[in-house]
Amino acid sequence: MLPEQTSPRPLIKGGRQIEDQWLRHDDETAPAEGKAIVRLDVWLASDRRDSLAPWLPSDTELDAETIAALREAPLVAIDFPKFTDGRGYSVARVLRERHAFTGEIRALGDVLIDQLVYMKRCGFDAWSLREDQIVEDALNAFNAFSRHYQVSIDNPEPMFLRRQREACAHQPEPALA
């Protein structure tokens, strides 16, 4: 496989499209300079961890040593080889919930607009869209749902507690006798 030299894919982060400063590098060695997203094994072996970011396959099993190292990463990219492969959702959620990872988690690969809301709810905060996806539609997708029943990374409070809190807020204060 030849290394990718440019990133024609639109990148969404912070609710807008931004220019991608990180190039995906598929080689077995790290590039000599510049910011690059590299395979996990290449990143772990590198002494340039501030300008390299690890790229995790969707089937990555996170052991204690890898998790400790990932805390140093400027970002963690999780690959979606096919849009039907949901294992990357679990990797992101485990990083956020169990291991309190606070850095950028970026979705790479076969990333479609239909997945963005669900990815966000699992902890992703940046998305490298597939080339054929329309950025404006992707940005609008984040507003497709106003409420979610399930708890998630972006809203850990269950719906019944939100409804209870809202109901209490609308109750009139009892009159003092």
Strands 11-13 and 126-128: what pairing?
antiparallel
Give the pLDDT band (50/70/90) at residue 2. Answer: very low
Instruction: Share the mean pLDDT of the chain.
Output: 86
Give the pLDDT band (50/70/90) at residue 1. Answer: very low
Give the pLDDT band (50/70/90) at residue 49. Answer: confident
User: What is the DSSP track for 26-93?
Assistant: -SSS--SSS-EEEEHHHHHH-S-TTTEEEEE-TT----HHHHHHHTT-SEEEEEESSTT--HHHHHHH
Residue 142 in tokens: 């984040």
Cα dihedral 49, 55, 56, 58, rounded to 10, equals 170
Look at residue 149 and tell me whether its pLDDT is greater than 70.
Answer: no
Whole-model pTM above 0.85? Answer: no
Q: What are 54-73's pLDDT values in tens digits? A: 999 989 888 898 999 999 89
The rounded distance, in Å, linking the Cα atoms of 61 and 90 is: 10
Look at residue 5 and tell me whether its pLDDT is greater than 60.
Answer: no
